[in-house]
Structure formats: C-alpha cells, structure tokens
Amino acid sequence: MTTELAATPEPLATPEPLETRVRTDIAAAEAPHRPIRRMLRRARVWIDGHSRLNRAYRFGVGAVGGILALGGLLLVPLPGPGWLVVFLGLAVLGTEFHWARRAAAALKRMLDRFWAWWRARRAARAGDTA
C-alpha cells in the first residue's frame, strides 16, 4: 500500500488592499493609448471642426452632466449611490468644462483626506480597545 503525501497548500499571499487595486484599475483605464480613448479624441476633433455641432455638443454635455450632478446631490441624503452620481455628473461635465475638472479633483482630495482620517480614527479606536 503506497501512501501519497498530501500536497501542502502554499501560504496565501496577502490580498492587495481594495483601495490599491481600485487606484491601479483607474490609472489603467485613464491611459491615453487605449483604443476607445483614441476613437473619442478623433470624434471630438471632428466635432470641433463644426461650430454649430460644437455648440450643440457642449450644451448637451452641460445639460446631461448638470442633471446628473444635481440629481446626485438630491440622492445624497437617501440610501444609495448619491455621491457616485455626483462624481459621474462632474466627470461628464469635466469632459468639456475645466471648472468641473477642478471641482472633481478638489472633491476627490477632500474624500481622500476624509478616508485617511476615518482609517486613523478606526485604528486609534482599535488600539484603545486592545
């Protein structure tokens, strides 16, 4: 009778924190060489060549982005994706308006500072109870 050695499982690698994975995925998606981004840049250059179409496009982007941002602000106190919709609206507006890009960047910085504060607070609480 032969006995086979059971394969010892390899130690599990420590999982990458979700925040790091999300930031990596976002950076990869924003890479300018991606085919969809190149196609959208070509379409935007074509639209820029037609003044009436450019005005209509900017108006449409402003209307859709504004509705999304305002609708998201209305959803913030309710359970659900309120802030996500606000950021989506600012992202849409940011494709055409520099002020929206700056506002979204400022909100992202504030959100990063909040989460850093929150993690430090939770760590301090965990240290107090231990």
Mind listing the pLDDT tens digit of every residue in the chain (130 residues)? 444 444 544 544 455 677 778 778 777 877 778 888 888 889 989 999 999 999 999 999 999 999 999 999 999 888 888 888 988 998 899 888 999 889 888 888 888 888 888 888 888 888 877 6
- Asked whether residue 123 is domain-assigned, the answer is yes
Domain residues for the domain of 120 are 40-129
Dihedral pair phi/psi, residue 79, rounded to 5°: -70, 135
Q: Is residue 6 part of a domain?
A: no
The answer to whether residue 5 sits within a structural domain is no
Supply the pLDDT for residue 68: 93
The pTM (predicted TM-score) of the whole model is 0.62
For residue 6, the 8-state DSSP code is: P
Domains contained in the chain, number: 1
Do the domain assignments include residue 91?
yes
3-class DSSP string for 94-106: HCCCHHHHHHHHH
Non-local (6+) Cβ contacts of 75 within 8 A are 81, 82, 85
Give a yes or no: residue 14 inside a domain. Answer: no
Is residue 114 one of the residues assigned to a domain?
yes
88, part of any domain: yes
In sequence order, which ranges of 49-97 are alpha helices (DSSP H)? 51-75, 82-94
Residue 98 maps to a domain = yes
Torsional sign, CA 13, 16, 21, 23: negative
Contact 69, 96 (CB under 8 A): no
